[in-house]
Amino acid sequence: MYVCVCKAVSDRRIRALAAEGRVRSLADLRRETGLGTCCGRCVPCARAVLAEAVRGAPAGPAAPLTAPAAA
């Protein structure tokens, strides 16, 4: 679904950017996509999608890899 109609930014795009570690905040999303820079009606929905996406995304490019637990 489109989160930001003005800039044609979908929830999939937000999730993909978060998974790549490119967005962690609304400011990041604005910089990467322009989301929220026209009418601003998308901001509450974008915050919710981003929060969910960031919770499910890796901590970032510098995140340490963890070894699987020993059996």
Residue selected from 12, 25, 27, 41 as contacting ligand FES according to rule CB under 6 A: 41
Interacting span for ligand FES (CB under 6 A) from 16-24, 35-43, 52-60, 62-70: 35-43
- Taking CB under 6 A as the rule, does residue 35 contact ligand FES? yes
Q: Please tell me the distance from the alpha carbon of residue 57 to that of residue 16, in angstroms, as a whole number.
A: 9
Q: Please tell me the distance from the alpha carbon of residue 13 to that of residue 41, in angstroms, as a whole number.
A: 18
Q: Please tell me the distance from the alpha carbon of residue 20 to that of residue 1, in angstroms, as a whole number.
A: 20
Residue 3: CB minimum distance to ligand FES, A: 7
Contact predicate 63/57, CB 8 Å? no
Residues that bind ligand FES (CB under 6 A): 4-7, 35-42
